[in-house]
Amino acid sequence: MAQPVSLKIPPFTTNVLSKKRYLIIYFILMWVSFFPPIIEFWFYWRMFYINSPMLFYFLLPLELLLVYLTLVFSSIIFARLALIFVNLFHKPREGVFPRDPKNKDYNYWSLRSVIQKWAAWISHTFPIPWHDVILFKIMGVKTHFSNSTYGGYISLEFVELGKNVSLGDGSSIFGSIIIGNYLIIKKIKIGDNVIISTHSVVMPGTIIGDNCILSAYSLTAVDQELEEGWIYMGTPVKKYKENKFFDMDLKILFDEKKDVSEKWTKFVEKRDALISKEKKKEL
Are residues 195 and 90 located together in one domain of the fold? yes
Domain span holding position 116? 5-247
* Coil vs helix vs strand at 271: helix
Are residues 263 and 232 located together in one domain of the fold? no
For 179-228, the pLDDT digits (tens) are 888 999 999 999 999 999 999 999 999 999 999 999 999 999 999 999 99
Are residues 194 and 253 located together in one domain of the fold? no
Are residues 127 and 253 located together in one domain of the fold? no
Are residues 87 and 219 located together in one domain of the fold? yes
Q: Is the pLDDT at 255 greater than 60, yes or no?
A: no
For 41-97, the pLDDT digits (tens) are 999 998 888 788 888 889 999 999 999 999 999 999 999 999 999 999 999 999 999
Output the pLDDT for position 5. 37
Helices 104-124 and 60-89: angle between axes, nearest 10 degrees: 170
Do 168 and 187 contact (CB within 8 A), yes or no? no
Are residues 125 and 259 located together in one domain of the fold? no
Are residues 200 and 275 located together in one domain of the fold? no
- Confidence band, pLDDT 50/70/90 cuts, at residue 40: very high
Are residues 21 and 107 located together in one domain of the fold? yes
Are residues 126 and 233 located together in one domain of the fold? yes
CA–CA dist 114, 29 (Å, integer): 10
Domain count, the chain: 2
Q: Which residues pair with 189 in a beta bridge?
A: 160, 207
- Using a 10 angstrom Cβ sphere, with 0-12 exposed, 13-18 middle and 19 or more buried, the burial of residue 246 is middle
Give a three-class secondary structure readout of 198-219.
Answer: CCCEECCCCEECCCCEECCCCE
Mark out the alpha helices in 125-223 (DSSP H runs). 130-139
Higher pLDDT, 126 or 154: 154
Output the pLDDT for position 133. 85
Higher pLDDT, 102 or 254: 102
Note the maximum CA span of the chain: 83
Are residues 113 and 151 located together in one domain of the fold? yes
Are residues 52 and 151 located together in one domain of the fold? yes
Are residues 28 and 130 located together in one domain of the fold? yes
- Confidence band, pLDDT 50/70/90 cuts, at residue 11: very low
Output the pLDDT for position 226. 95
The sheet carrying 237-242 orders its strands as: 166-167, 195-196, 213-214, 230-234, 237-242
CA–CA dist 274, 263 (Å, integer): 17
What is the domain-level CATH number for residue 169?
Answer: 2.160.10.10
